Structure 1
Amino acid sequence: MFGLIGHLTSLEHAQKVAKQLGYPEYHEQGLDFWCSAPPQIVDEIKVTSLTGETITGKYVESCFLPEMLTQRRIKAAIRKILNAMAQAQKANIDITALGGFSSIVFENFNLQNNRQVRNVELDFRRFTTGNTHTAYIICQQVVQGAQQIGIDISQATIAVCGATGDIGSGVCRWLNTNTAVKNLLLVARNQERLDTLQSELGRGKILPMDEALSQADIVVWVASLPKGVEISAEALKKPCLIIDGGYPKNFDSQVQHPEIAILKGGIVEHSLDIEWKIMELVNMETPNRQLFACFAEAMILEFEKWYTNFSWGRNEITVTKMDQIGEASRKHGFQPLLLLDK
């Protein structure tokens, strides 16, 4: 059995979903209440592969909210993720994906040092961040999305914003190995990590965000958007393809221009209907077919019986593992979300 640990995008969103799911005690409560709310298994899932095999899973709502990522409430955020992992393990789930901010909190705060959660000793082999599959899908969106709008990738400049993160660095490695992209621009806040990545790749130009965006034919956004920062259409090259790999997605509302195409990065479509309700609650356009690639990784691992932390650790995504999970992804009916036909 596979598991998915997720969270909602805001307090307002959480209150709305609590009402929909029939949790009246959560519906009108404020952030302090949510900081103490325990994780809940709120969905049973059934997925059928193109091979004909069917698997089942559970969705664990961590009750974590992005508003908890403050100095005052960070301990609550950490507790949420660890408690959700313990809940999944107690439910005898074989492999569980940490979705959204769950994996970021886990890695940034070294939660691997917190193996004991009350009476549960976490077995980290049962958990995956899902970042390898996410990085692979974003790379496919770059290549196939560019073809859709007529960008020649061999003549293109690609800016990766968040290049030194787990997903961003994997995207850079894959593009550097598997495409003939003309220019690769590396954007991130940590200069030391940028220098290390540039040295590893043997190429790539390090630029501030504004300069990179003005030069890029394709923008891969896998960073958190700094508070108060907005990206305008005027700052971008035309035509331009944006792969918005952030969560929640925010470029659709900020950038609207006929020569700028925006793809929801890290989203996959399954060939067959999935029996669940959670993707409707997070406002997927086709909730019985579309899902986050990190969640799909747990499903793929279950289909393949690869019960291991396939994606784990910071900046350890390799091109070999991306291609491995990509092959299995296609086998079981997952494909990258692309642009609507023009």
Structure 2
Amino acid sequence: MFGLIGHLTSLEHAQAVAHQLGYPEYADQGLEFWCMAPPQIVDEITVTSVTGKTIYGKYVESCFLPEMLANQRVKAATRKVINAMAHAQKHNIDITALGGFSSIIFENFDLEKMSHIRNIELDFRRFTTGNTHTAYIICQQIEQAAPQVGIDLRQATVAVCGATGDIGSAVCRWLNTCLDVQDLLLVARNRDRLLELQAELGRGKILDLMEALPLADIVVWVASMPKGVELSIEQLKRPSLMIDGGYPKNMATKIQHPQIHVLNGGIVEHALDIDWKIMEIVNMDVPSRQMFACFAEAMLLEFEGWHTNFSWGRNQITVEKMQQIGEVSRKHGFQPLLLNPQ
């Protein structure tokens, strides 16, 4: 059995969803209540591969909200993630993906040291960040969506914002190895890590965000926007392709221009309908088939019987592992979300 650990985008979103899911005791409560709320299994999932194999899973709502980090409730945020993991393991789930902020919180706050939760010793082999599949799907979106908008990758400049993160560095490795892009721009806050990545790749220009944007035919966002920074159409090349790999995805509402094409990054579509409710709650366009690629990684690992932490640790994703998860992704009927034809 596979599991998915997720969370909602805001307190307001959580209150609305609590009504939908039949948890009225959660629906009118404020942030203090959500800081104390325990994890809940709120969805049972059935997925069938195009190979004919059927698997079953559970969605664990962690009750984490981004406002917890914004309001300096770090202990509450870390407790949410680690308790959700313990809840999944207690229910004998073999492999569970950490969705949204869950994997970021786990890595940034070094939660691997908190392996003992009440009477449960966490077995980290049962969990995956899903970042390998996410990085692979973003790279496929670059390769397949660029021609849709008239961008020739061989002559294109690609900026990766958040280049030193787990997903960002993996995307850079793929662009450097598998796609013949003309220029690669590396954007991140930590210059030492940028220099290390540049040395590893043997290429790439290190630029500030505002320097990179006017030069980029394709911008891959896998980091949060710096505080106080607002994008304007005048800063962006036209035509250009913007791949929004963040969560929640809101770039399409901020940037609207016929020559600036925004694609929700790291989203996959399955060939067959999935029996679940949860993707309606996170407002997927086709909730019966679309999902975050990190969640799909848990499904792929269950389909293949690979009950191991396939994606784990910071900056450990190799091109070979991306190719490996990409092969089974195609095998079981997943494909990257692309732009709607005009």
Q: Distance in 2 between matches of 1:294 and 1:99?
A: 6
One-letter amino acid of the structure 1 residue matched with residue 332 of structure 2? H
- Residue 250 of structure 1, CA deviation: 1.7
One-letter amino acid of the structure 2 residue matched with residue 126 of structure 1? R
Name 1:85's counterpart in structure 2: 85
Name 1:109's counterpart in structure 2: 109
One-letter amino acid of the structure 2 residue matched with residue 275 of structure 1? D
Name 1:299's counterpart in structure 2: 299
- Residue 228 of structure 1, CA deviation: 3.2
Equivalent pair of 1:17/1:281 in contact (CA under 8 Å): yes
Q: Distance in 2 between matches of 1:232 and 1:266?
A: 24
SS in 1 for 2:146: helix
Q: Distance in 1 between matches of 2:77 and 2:255?
A: 31
> For this pair of structures, how many residues does the alignment match?
342
1:210 pairs with 2:210 = yes
1:280 pairs with 2:284 = no
Name 1:34's counterpart in structure 2: 34
- Residue 234 of structure 1, CA deviation: 1.1
Name 2:263's counterpart in structure 1: 263
1:126 pairs with 2:126 = yes
Q: Distance in 1 between matches of 2:9 and 2:253?
A: 16
Equivalent pair of 1:230/1:254 in contact (CA under 8 Å): no
Residue ranges of structure 2 left out of the alignment (5+ in a row): none
- Residue 225 of structure 1, CA deviation: 1.6
1:194-205 matches, cutoff 5 A:
194-205=194-205
Change (3 A) 1:237 1:76: same
Name 2:309's counterpart in structure 1: 309
Name 2:150's counterpart in structure 1: 150
Deviation string for 1:297-317 (max 9, x for gaps)? 000000000010000000000
Q: Distance in 1 between matches of 2:109 and 2:173?
A: 25
Report the TM-score, using the length of structure 1 for normalisation: 0.99
Deviation string for 1:214-264 (max 9, x for gaps)? 100000000012233221111100000001001001211111101001100
Cα RMSD (Å) = 0.7
Name 1:246's counterpart in structure 2: 246
- Residue 101 of structure 1, CA deviation: 0.1
SS in 2 for 1:69: helix
Equivalent pair of 1:161/1:187 in contact (CA under 8 Å): yes
Q: Distance in 1 between matches of 2:64 and 2:227?
A: 19
Report the TM-score, using the length of structure 2 for normalisation: 0.99
Equivalent pair of 1:276/1:288 in contact (CA under 8 Å): yes
Runs of 4 or more above 3 Å deviation: none
- Residue 285 of structure 1, CA deviation: 0.6
One-letter amino acid of the structure 1 residue matched with residue 281 of structure 2? L
SS in 2 for 1:159: strand
Q: Distance in 1 between matches of 2:72 and 2:171?
A: 34
One-letter amino acid of the structure 2 residue matched with residue 288 of structure 1? S
Deviation string for 1:133-160 (max 9, x for gaps)? 0000000000101011111000000000
